[in-house]
Chains A and B, each alone.
Chain A
Amino acid sequence: MLRSTSLLATKACRNTARRVFVRKISTSGQEQCDVVIVGGGPAGLALASALGSKQHTLGNIKIALVEAGDLSKVRKWTPEEGTFSNRVVSLTNESQAFLDSIGSWQYVEQSRTAPIEEMQVWDGVSDARIEFHSSELGLEHPEQGMARLTEVLNLQRGLLRHLQLIPEVQIIDQTKVTSITAESVDGGWPLVQLENGRVLRSRLLVGADGLNSPVRSFAKIPTYGWSYDRHAIVATMVHPAKSPLLGPNTTAFQRFLPTGPIAFLPLSPTVSSLVWSTTPELAAALKQTAPSVLARMINAAFRLPENSLTYIHSQILQAHQAGMPIQDAEIKGLIQWRESSCAIKENSAYSTAAFDTPEKLAGVPPDDAVLVPPMVTSIQPGTIASFPLRYNHAETYTGLNNRAVLVGDAAHTIHPLAGQGLNLGLGDVECLSRVIHNAVLRGGDIGSYTSLLPYSQERYLENHKIMSICDKLHKLYSTTFGPVVQLRTMGLEMLNEFDSIKAALMSIAGSSAPTRIRREGGSFHGEFGATALSLAATGFEGVTAAAATVQALTNLVRDRAKAQFDERGKGGNTL
């Protein structure tokens, strides 16, 4: 007893002593850090917040975040009422719960986010369709939807507001990392050289620095991937409010066209966000046209048969190549002509006639109105942009003996068709911050390979699984080849039949079932999400495998036929 009281008494002073000394050390102009995060995108900022919010249990580790861009612009971002940024992500409930658990979610302006309560997904060629509603998911709070659409800027600003309350995290923005070297001694630490001459010596170096990650190059981590030869056009779309008969604007629509899916993601009753993956040529051509042309083409892309779209796209490309971007009147004419030749009635939701007379949209909506998104009437000025799409996966997330670790897009990028990119990144951040926390509690050196191993072990396969499902989905739907279309139609319709597989598709489309969070040293787990995903994986594997077999058989028959034909041809020649 004697001993324990004296221990406690002296402990208080020792604590302060320990805290002060960490700050003091610096060798010859170098600044000592425990964690240097390169990249102030959403992943980097979330990691800084996650670590910063646990400062007291982490024994005041020293954290610096370096970002090339100007973060004060993000901090001061005050969009005009009713306008929305064009970069929007759908955050799964799991991602939101994580952001909430670190205390950041409350700084994200909730009124600018919108739940997805329902999804309408259909095949652009066969029109086979699946519908999901969040009430079918057995969510704890179905009214909060299966995912929440959030502007990236709103998220980043929220994270920055949270970080303003954590002065221990040093944010160095408008400063590029110019090079990273390793100290020349055995077991030396990384030295991060900044544009302004500062040098940070870091125990742990986190690459949250996006697709072309300089940290990844420093750590000599190879990456594996390819370009999809697709660009995603994004824009903020304006439309009339839905009729009350159709319910609120909380349904996301996605149509899989052979060139890539087009998605309509609701943000407010009259504003939604576009993500349209298509060929780089069409993306470039559409960016050159008047915004009204893009608006018409978006409406058409959700409504016209696939072959009509292919024809109109070729017209747009031709005009673009001739250096004369297609005009609004011409597009209007083309669409009207295709609508009438396809016998689309003017009072059907599939008709775009009301584009020029929006007042006609008021009143009782047609029966088929639930199948297509609201008619886009204009594009918010300045919001049209496009991004090249890549599949990329680093071979490992932790460098070998160089104290580097990767999170977010630096580690992996995927096709946005299931809206998973940042959700994977936030999963990385959740796991890495937990792994760091556990290592610190055990006196581990958080830059060591051994401390970081559980992070790679937990995240790599998890990410790989989701990434390959998204990749397969893209490949499965980017063909008009008959047998494959037939099979995937069966696929989609079968999906609609079986609730479990439907739920699986919902889970990659941005939702995940109720996840319980163990906050103390525990982990997040979406058991439902995981099983549903593997179900989905097998489901799709089945469809792709079947399609591949059909394709192989067809090729075989075709090659045989061709060989016979050539044989005959040869025979003919000699005769």
Chain B
Amino acid sequence: MFPTSLIRSTVNPAEIAHFSRLSALWWDEHGEFSFLHKMNPVRMQFIREKILEIARDEQPDLSGNNPDILNGLDVLDVGCGGGLLSESLARLGARTLGIDASESNVAIARHHSTLDPRLSQNLSYRHTPAESLLSEHKQFDVVCSMEVLEHVDNPALFLSTCAELLKPSGHLFLSTISRTPLAYLLTIFLAEKVLGKVADGTHTWSKYIKPSELIEFFHKYRSPSQHPEASRPWITRLYGDGVPTRTEAEVRGLVFNPLQAGWMLAPRGAWGATECNYIFWARKPALESALDSIKS
């Protein structure tokens, strides 16, 4: 793990102040965060289906529609905001911890969860940066961080923090926005400046990260290990056009359909679908794969 002295923060105070100001609006489905509300079912669909897909690789007799796949898993939602994703995870039975750098966001999230009796047992929130969980030696089956990466300082540190909060074989889910002209046009020029759907200053183009950059990061990234010679990068193989194997990582576009005023999950490899919003998944290498490679 990281020696404590090396912990730098990924928290950008201006960003946090911005979200704190808007915190009262989190649960207005028609307001500032309506896009996130509408995106949430699609993010959940991907999370559920991906975990199910991997579980079925390992247990082929598992039902293709198993509603309980998240039940009982330890899940961390980093930058949970008002708790949109955290509540959904908890409703599916995941033991969910939502953390956020903004105190008022956490307060709103906590208050909202008290309205729903189904949430009280497996949902909790903490006002803390992800880095301090590392020092508590907590690890989770699943770490999610939705629409946060584009708001942090030092994204590489943020990614490695999320990575190390996972147990071996754990699932990492990130959704964010790519750094493309299209993304600038849609998420900043249109959404903030022209339509005013999202508060001005919410996004900074230069902080956007491309899917290829995330893949590149995890192609190199190795979890710190007592057996450095055994640890492998999260992504070991890339096909010709930079596509990882389905069992190590995946990128899917999230596409807004204005006709239905809703988001959809683009099919795998859909052309141009990841030019703006996308969701990324990667899996931490299993412990035994490291040990296996030592033995051989």
A residues near B, CB below 8 A? 1-4, 7-8, 10-11, 14-15, 18, 21-22, 25, 27, 32, 56-59, 185-189, 203, 400-401, 438-445, 448-451, 453-454, 457, 520-521
| Beta-carbon contacts under 8 Å, B22-61 to A | 27, 29-30, 37-38, 40-41, 44-45, 48, 55, 58-59
Chain A residue nearest to B42 (CB atoms) is A442
User: What's the nearest-Cβ distance from chain A to residue B60, in Å?
Assistant: 12
Contacts A187-B115, A203-B116, A520-B65; A441 near B48 (Cβ below 8 A):
yes
B160 contacts A by Cβ under 8 Å? no
A3-B167 CB under 8 A given contacts A14-B71, A443-B91: yes
A56 and B67 alpha carbons, distance in the complex (Å): 9
How far, in whole Å, are A453 and B261 apart by their CA atoms in the complex?
9
Q: A2-B288, A451-B41 are in contact. Are A8 and B67 (CB under 8 A)?
A: no
Fill in one digit per residue for B111-124: 1 if any A CB lies within 8 Å of its CB, else 0: 01001111011000
B77 to A: closest C-beta gap in Å:
12
Given contacts A1-B288, A449-B30, A450-B29, is CB(A187)–CB(B117) below 8 Å? no
CA separation between A441 and B168, bound complex, in Å?
Answer: 26
Say how far A30's CB is from chain B's closest CB, in angstroms. 10
Residue pair B67, A450 in contact (C-beta under 8 Å): no
CB closest chain-B residue, reference A454: B262
- Interface contact B37-A32, CB-CB below 8 Å: no
Known contacts A445-B91, A453-B262, A521-B65; A11/B71 CB under 8 A = yes
Closest residue of B by beta carbon distance from A10: B72
Chain B residues near A27: list those with CB within 8 A. Answer: 117
Looking at chain A's contact residues, the main secondary structure is helix
Are A187 and B65 within 8 A (Cβ)?
no
Contacts of A21 in B (CB 8 A): 121
Q: Beta-carbon contacts of B80-93 to A below 8 Å, as 1s and 0s? A: 00000001111111
**When the two chains form their complex, are residues B169 and A3 in contact, meaning their CB atoms are under 8 A apart?**
yes
| Complexed CA–CA distance, A442 and B47 (Å) | 9
Would you give the shortest CB distance from A371 to chain B, in whole angstroms? 48
A445 and B72 within 8 A (CB): no
Contact yes or no, B45 A442, CB < 8 A: yes
What's the Cα separation between A18 and B123 when bound, in Å?
A: 13
- Which residue of B is nearest A22, CB measured? B118
Contact A441 B27 (CB under 8 A): no
Give the 10 A-B CB pairs with smallest separation, nearest first. Answer: A443-B88, A25-B117, A14-B72, A442-B44, A443-B91, A443-B92, A442-B41, A449-B29, A450-B37, A57-B67
A3–B29 Cα distance when bound, in Å, is 39
Instruction: Encode contact with A along B97-134: 1 for CB under 8 Å, 0 otherwise.
Output: 00000000000000010011110110000000000000
In the complex, the chain A residue whose C-beta lies closest to that of B95 is A14
Other-chain residue from A18, A441, A442, A450 in contact with B93 (beta carbon distance below 8 A) = A18
Within 219-278 of B, Cβ neighbours of A (below 8 Å) are at 260-262
Name B85's closest neighbour in chain A (CB-CB).
Answer: A443
In the assembled complex, B216 has its CB within 8 A of some CB on chain A: no
Residue in contact with B88 in the complex, picked from A1, A401, A442, CB distance below 8 Å: A442
Q: How far is A450 from B90 in the complex, measured between Cα atoms in Å?
A: 18
CA–CA, A10 and B68, complex, Å: 12
| Contact between chains at B88 and A448 (CB < 8 Å) | no
> What are 5 inter-chain pairs, A to B, with CB distance below 8 A?
A4-B59, A25-B117, A59-B67, A449-B29, A457-B260
Report yes or no: B40 in contact with A450, Cβ–Cβ below 8 A: yes
Q: Which residue of B lies closest to A26 (CB)?
A: B117
Whether A443 pairs with B87 at a CB distance below 8 angstroms is: yes
Q: Assess whether A185 is in contact with B44, with CB atoms less than 8 Å apart.
A: no
Shortest distance between the CB of A406 and any CB in chain B (Å) = 18
Are B112 and A187 within 8 A (Cβ)? yes
Whether A18 contacts B71 by the Cβ 8 Å rule is yes
Q: By the criterion CB–CB under 8 Å, are B168 and A3 in contact?
A: yes
Name the residue on A nearest B68 (C-beta): A15
Separation of A188 and B27 alpha carbons in the complex (Å): 12
Q: How far is A59 from B68 in the complex, measured between Cα atoms in Å? A: 8
Q: How far is the CA of A142 from the CA of B167 in the complex (A)?
A: 60
How far is A440 from B45 in the complex, measured between Cα atoms in Å?
11
A10 to B169, CA, bound (A): 17
B55 to chain A, nearest CB (A): 7
Rounded to whole Å, the gap between the CB of A11 and the closest CB of chain B is 6
Residues of B within 8 A of A11 (CB): 68, 71-72
B29 partner, pick from A22, A56, A401, A443, beta carbons under 8 A = A401
Determine the chain B residues whose CB is within 8 A of the CB of A453 once the complex forms.
Answer: 38, 261-262
A54, closest chain B residue (CB)? B67
Closest B-chain residue to A458, C-beta based? B260
- Alpha-carbon distance between A27 and B114 when the two chains are bound, in angstroms: 11
CA distance A58 to B93 in the complex (A): 12
**B residues in contact with A449, CB < 8 Å:** 29-30
Of A439, A443, A449, A457, most buried by chain B (CB within 10 Å of CB) is: A443
Other-chain residue from B44, B90, B288 in contact with A444 (beta carbon distance below 8 A):
B44
Of B41, B59, B71, B287, the residue contacting A450 (CB under 8 A) is B41
Which residue of B has the minimal Cβ distance to A18? B93
Q: Which residues of the partner chain A approach B260 to less than 8 Å between Cβ atoms?
A: 457
For A439, list chain B residues within 8 Å (CB): 41
Please measure, in the bound complex, the distance between the C-alpha atom of A57 and the C-alpha atom of B288, giving whole angstroms: 34
B122 CB, nearest partner CB in chain A, Å: 8
Cα-based distance from A443 to B70 in the complex (angstroms): 10
How far, in angstroms, from A69 to B91 measured CA to CA in the complex?
35
Q: Do the beta carbons of A15 and B58 come within 8 Å of each other?
A: no
Q: Which residue of A lies closest to B94 (CB)?
A: A443
Residues of A within 8 A of B91 (CB): 443-445
Within 8 A of A (CB), among B171-211: none
The residue on A at minimum CB distance from B287 is: A2
The distance in angstroms between the C-alpha atoms of A7 and B51, with both chains bound, is 13
- List, in ascending order, chain B residues with CB within 8 A of A185's CB: 115
Contacts of B90 in A (CB 8 A): 443
Task: Give chain A residues whose Cβ lies under 8 Å from the Cβ of B27.
Answer: 186-187
Smallest beta-carbon distance B168→chain A, Å = 7
A186 and B24 CA atoms in complex are apart in Å by 10
- Asked if B115 and A188 make an inter-chain contact with CB atoms under 8 angstroms apart, the answer reads yes
Query: Which residues in A have their C-beta under 8 angstroms from that of B71?
Result: 11, 14-15, 18
Docked-complex contact B65 and A57, CB < 8 angstroms: yes
Give the docked Cα–Cα distance between A188 and B118 (Å).
15
Complex Cα distance, B114 from A32, in Å, reads 13
List 14 additional contacts besides A4-B55, A25-B120, A58-B67; criterion CB under 8 Å.
Answer: A2-B287, A21-B121, A22-B117, A25-B117, A32-B117, A59-B92, A185-B115, A187-B115, A188-B115, A441-B67, A443-B87, A444-B88, A448-B37, A451-B41
Q: How far is the CB of B114 from chain A (nearest CB, A)?
A: 9
B44, A448: Cβ atoms closer than 8 Å: no
How many Å from the CB of B29 to the closest CB on chain A?
Answer: 5
Closest to B169 in A: A3
Q: Is the CB of B59 within 8 A of A8?
A: yes
| Inter-chain contacts of B65 with A (CB < 8 A) | 57, 441, 520-521
Of chain A, the residue at the smallest CB distance from B55 is A4
